[in-house]
Amino acid sequence: MSQFTSFIRIPLLALRHRLAPLPRIGPLETDRVRLHVLPMDIDFNLHLNNARYLNAMDYGRMRLLARSGLFDSFLRSGWKAVVGAVWMTYRRSLPLFARYELATRLVCWDERWFYMEQTFTRAGALCAVGWVKGALLEGDRIVSPDRIIRSVAPGVASPPLPENFLAWNDLTREKLDIARESVTETQESSRR
Query: Biggest alpha carbon distance in the chain?
Result: 62
CATH classification (class only), 4-160: alpha beta
Q: Where are the domains of the chain?
A: 4-160, 162-192
Query: pTM for the full model?
Result: 0.89
Separation of alpha carbons 49 and 53, rounded Å: 7
- If you average pLDDT over residues 114-143, what whole number do you get? 96
Gyration radius of the chain over CA positions: 18
Closest by CA to 40, choosing from 69, 19, 9, 11, is 9
21: pLDDT strictly greater than 90: no
Task: Give the whole-number percent of the chain exceeding pLDDT 90.
Answer: 74
Using DSSP, state whether 145 is helix, strand or coil: helix
